[in-house]
Amino acid sequence: MYRSHNCGELRASHSNTEVTLSGWVQGVRDKGFMIYIDLRDRYGITQLYFDEERTPKAIMEKASKLGREFVIQVKGNVTERASKNPNIPTGDIEVVVSELTILNSSLVPPFTIEDKTDGGDDLRMKYRYIDIRRNPVKNSLIFRSKVTQAVRNYLSNDGFIEVETPYLIKSTPEGARDFVVPSRMNEGQFYALPQSPQTFKQLLMVGGMDKYFQIVKCFRDEDLRADRQPEFTQIDCEMAFVEQEDILNVFEGLTRHLLKEVNGVEIEKFPRMLYDDAMRLYGNDKPDIRFGMEFGELNAVTQHKDFGVFNNAELVVGIAVPGGNSYTRKEIDKLIDWVKRPQVGALGMIYSRCNDDGSFKSSVDKFYDQDDLAKWAEVTGAKPGDLVCVLSGETNKVRAQLSALRMELATRLGLRDPKVFAPLWVIDFPLLELDEETGHYHAMHHPFTSPKPGQLELLDTNPGDVKANAYDLVLNGNEIGGGSIRIHDKATQAIMLKHLGFSDEDARAQFGFLMDAFEYGAPPHGGLAFGLDRLVAILGGQETIRDFIAFPKNNSGRDVMIDAPAPIDDEQLKELSLKLNLKS
């Protein structure tokens, strides 16, 4: 038996108890005639005590040679500490050591195993197995486990069946590049790793499984934006004989359960917002509604003067920044520089100060009088003491730019409290998106999403106006889940694929198995997939997913710990009938 108790377990009530502990040496304080060692495992820290009077000389010598992260086993007696430590649960006791065994020595770790470490991101990723010993990472992984178990319990209690689907599948167009896997037994042919189990969960509905879920890895070979991973985890769910309202109710219930079970927060209201309203009021389809600063469209009150910047713009739009009139001119200039960054892309920013006396002072006073600026304040909801920030340009671009500014200002103003949770359903997305480069439409979600009832005929006349029977669940400005009611009959699926540019032959080659299945009594069905990594991070009060993943990859998609991806040798290439054609 390596231990009778863990390092976070002992209390004053255990005094005069003989115990056995095992763990890592967190730190050593050698006073010469006595030695203190902090012993750590994942449960906590216990102080060990050695002194010349009670500890055999050989054990004292061995203890004096211990280094950080040595793995040791000790036996000893629990004693109440004379100088207690209120900062740790075991701070009332220490173990007077009578036996010491070194189970394994350790090199000096490349960074300190502390909550606030001296190790940079790259270094900690290279030695991730050491980084996991730190409380922030350890606790994040334990928290993820708690969320995952709560999900499984809720769905299982609601009649969902957990079914595993294959990882080695066929490449299908779902919006991102597939990771492909060569087949040795089928020369010249390849599997693909699933971007999601979409078609398989639909086939399970055809198979009568009725309520399916799976906590599953998904893979996308795409350029990694900030805080993305090439492999990620979904809570993938599907239900048969349901309409949109049924699905929203079930997964609203799951989210409410998680917030209460994991965070102790009760939320009853899950507001719903049309996609068009989300874009008009917030500039994106995943608005953070923990704070206001809704957009005010200003075309009608700005495009009547000789200010060409506004007159020539497709959209003039502004937000009211609460208390923003206190900003100095230098601070406002920095905001203007911020929106001009390439990541945002605005050409500039116009502003209007809302003074406490009801007057206004703007950067375009030459063109707009007090009555004009009062209308700006009215449209944006600005009050005395606020600052109105205005951008203009092409509608979609300027909305995205102002959305970025809104989030930046909210962060600076402390309006994005991670302990406050504001869920939101966004519904009625467009079914199709126009690719401006090619002039062709593609599915906004995926090719199996059904149009809203009664809108199928619009595909022939006004495809851009067709709404999808789709929905996203947003939490604190992050999309944590999304799904749709699926197409469940072959004829409608064929129409959809035709409008996405698939020939009959291409449709048969890509999705013949699914369309064949639809001819054998496919029920109406729909579902939703949560992004588990993102959901866990937000529930944990963070927006960075990496510390909630045991072994993440960096922004280049590399695992710097195991040095992957890596070349394979010529013999493997030959066996797989592959030949490299690398650019020098």
> Annotated binding residue at 195?
no
| Global pTM value | 0.92
Average pLDDT over residues 174-183: 86
* pLDDT score of 66 more than 80: yes
d(CA 185, CA 82): 70
Query: What Å distances lie between residue 477 and 1, 473, 556, CA to CA?
Result: 49, 10, 25
Q: How far apart are the first and last CA of the chain?
A: 58
> Annotated binding residue at 394?
no
The DSSP line for 321-377 is ETTGGG--HHHHHHHHHHHHSTTT--S--EEEEE-TTS-EEETTTTT--HHHHHHHH
> Annotated binding residue at 445?
yes
Residue 57: CB partners within 8 Å, gap ≥ 6? none
- Of the CA atoms within 13 Å of residue 451, those in its CB half-sphere come to 22
pLDDT at residue 439 in the model = 76
pLDDT at residue 173 in the model = 67
> Annotated binding residue at 534?
yes
d(CA 196, CA 174): 9
* pLDDT score of 63 more than 70: yes
Average pLDDT, whole number, for the chain?
94
d(CA 270, CA 251): 11
Cβ distance 448 to 493 under 8 Å?
Answer: yes
Average pLDDT over residues 478-501: 91
Query: What Å distances lie between residue 389 and 60, 305, 370, CA to CA?
Result: 69, 19, 16
> Annotated binding residue at 415?
no
| 3-state SS, residue 48 | strand
pLDDT at residue 460 in the model = 85
Percent of the chain at pLDDT > 70 equals 99
Name the least confident of 7-21, 197-211, 496-510: 496-510
> Annotated binding residue at 53?
no
Average pLDDT over residues 443-470: 90
Q: Which helix (H) or strand (E) holds 217?
A: strand 211-219
* Confidence category of residue 175, pLDDT binned at 50, 70, 90: low
> Annotated binding residue at 532?
yes
pLDDT at residue 555 in the model = 87
- Do the strands 231-240 and 211-219 form a parallel or antiparallel pair, or are they unpaired? antiparallel
* pLDDT score of 344 more than 90: yes
pLDDT at residue 42 in the model = 96
What's the farthest any 2 CA atoms get from each other in the chain? Answer: 93
Cβ distance 70 to 61 under 8 Å?
Answer: no
pLDDT at residue 174 in the model = 60
Cβ distance 384 to 300 under 8 Å?
Answer: no
d(CA 213, CA 527): 10
* pLDDT score of 471 more than 70: yes
